[in-house]
Amino acid sequence: MTQPPGGDATDEGRWLTPGVGGVGAASFLSDSGHEIATAVLPGFVTGVLHGSAAALGLIEGVSDALIGVVKLVGGPLANDPVRRRRIATGGYLGTALATGAIGLATAVWQVGVLRAVAWAARGIRSPSRDTLLASLAPTRAYGRAFGLERAGDNLGAVVGPLLAAGLVGWLGIRPTIWCAAVPGMLAALAILLAAREARRRGTDSATRRRPRLDLRGLANAGLLRPLLPVVLFEFGNVATTLLILRATALLSAGRSPAAAASLAILLYAAHNALAALVAFAGGHGIDRIGPRAVFAAGAACYVLGYAGFALGSAHWPVVLAYFGLAGAGIGLAETAESALVARVLPDRLRGSGYGVLGAVQAAGDLVATVVVGVLYAAVSPAVAFGYAGAWMLLSVTASATVRPRTT
């Protein structure tokens, strides 16, 4: 696999610069902020605004689908160094302001519009953030840099709901959503500092580039072959809400519904914490053995985790092990996917590469969640998770057999 130059100005120095740390901090802070809102959104929509569960599902479904589309649009924009810095900063700020503004809504449709705006800002900033990070990190440390960023994101998914629980009891639901804007605005400041470091050090080119997806350029650079295992992986990567649903059902034996649900949510928090830890450790592994092997290990963790959810157990330590395998899987796989694009593509194409990757992730996850959800309800949980596990097994096989083009 060729290794195009990335953050060449620091290849001989330390990898954890203020810019790389700033991107990691931005992911942690932003995820903490919007997870605060996500945690209280069901109560706000149904309890405060008297909306229905169907309305909540529509809001979340549309917003999640929008992310993939916007990532594909934002990818070519991130190919330009000047534009990527502005989009990354503006995207984080837009997510923060739109998320906090949800607390001002007086009707369900307003929540839907603001949630869509926040998620569109998340989507369009993502390729710019990743391309910016690749320009700041030395080539030899892409794994560690993206591992730090993914660790921050997953850790935010732990801290955000915990903050929400405390804030709701102290301030109430609406003020809690307003508070969600604070870490998001701090995230915008962190990414701004990272963007300024990139401009100051000159680790990205000053040449303006016309925004275009350039699929032929991506193919010629060798991205398509290593994307095949990723596509297979995403067709088995179901939303974590289905894991929580399955865990709640498994843990209900001998427990009240409320106790089972609370325990399942705690196990999910452990899933996110482990994902953060494994993402950081996996980043070090990527720099030693490459992203392909680490990605395959992540898919293999999912095979085992889904097998556990399919077979089932009423003992919470066993269910925790299932969640732990899924957390390890996502921590390894997402880090490897991001590092792969940075390694394969030159700076002028990385934005497009991250846009395509984001679209693949969003489309695959949507299809996986819908199909597994239908199988779960219409057939059985065992068949549903067996189906998802089969895709992960195919991904492991493809990772072992489909080798990236070498020059």
Rounded to an integer, what distance in angstroms lies between the CA atom of residue 105 and that of residue 113? 10
- Give exposure, 306-341, as e/b (b: 16+ Cβ within 10 Å): bbbbbebbeebeebbbbbbbbbbbbbbbbbbbbbbb
**Nearest-10 crossing angle of helices 81-101, 108-136:** 150
Q: Please answer whether residues 195 and 132 qualify as being in contact, where contact means their C-beta atoms are separated by less than 8 angstroms.
A: yes
CA atoms within 13 Å, Cβ hemisphere of 304? 17
Q: Please answer whether residues 143 and 283 qualify as being in contact, where contact means their C-beta atoms are separated by less than 8 angstroms.
A: yes
Average pLDDT, the chain: 91
Lookup: tokens for 322: 């299932």
Element spanning 367, H or E: helix 347-378
pLDDT of 8 reads 44
Asked if pLDDT for residue 349 goes beyond 70, the answer is: yes
How confident is residue 209, by pLDDT bands cut at 50, 70 and 90?
A: low
Percent of the chain topping pLDDT 90: 73
pLDDT of 151 reads 97
Cα four-point dihedral sign 102, 106, 112, 116: negative
Asked if pLDDT for residue 11 goes beyond 80, the answer is: no
Q: In 3-state terms, the chain is what percent helix, strand and coil (to 5)? A: 85, 0, 15
Backbone region of residue 136 per phi and psi (left: phi > 0; alpha: psi in -120 to 50; beta: other values): alpha
pLDDT of 404 reads 64
Mean pLDDT to the nearest integer, 271-294: 96
**Nearest-10 crossing angle of helices 291-311, 257-289:** 160
Percent of the chain topping pLDDT 70: 94
CA atoms within 13 Å, Cβ hemisphere of 145? 33
The full set of domains in the chain, from first to last, is: 15-204 (1.20.1250.20), 216-402 (1.20.1250.20)
Rounded to an integer, what distance in angstroms lies between the CA atom of residue 45 and that of residue 55? 8
Lookup: tokens for 23: 């991107």
**All residues at 6 or more sequence positions from 80 whose CB lies less than 8 Å from its CB, including other chains:** 208, 209, 210, 211, 351
What tens digit of pLDDT does each residue of 229-260 get? Answer: 999 999 999 988 889 889 989 998 888 888 88
Closest CA to 365 of 404, 320, 334, 341: 334
Q: Please answer whether residues 311 and 91 qualify as being in contact, where contact means their C-beta atoms are separated by less than 8 angstroms.
A: no
Lookup: tokens for 174: 């609406």
What tens digit of pLDDT does each residue of 114-142 get? Answer: 999 999 999 999 999 999 999 999 999 99
Q: φ and ψ at 11, to 5 degrees?
A: -55, -30
Element spanning 254, H or E: none
Give the pTM: 0.90
Asked if pLDDT for residue 94 goes beyond 60, the answer is: yes
pLDDT of 255 reads 86
| Total residues found in the chain within this entry | 407
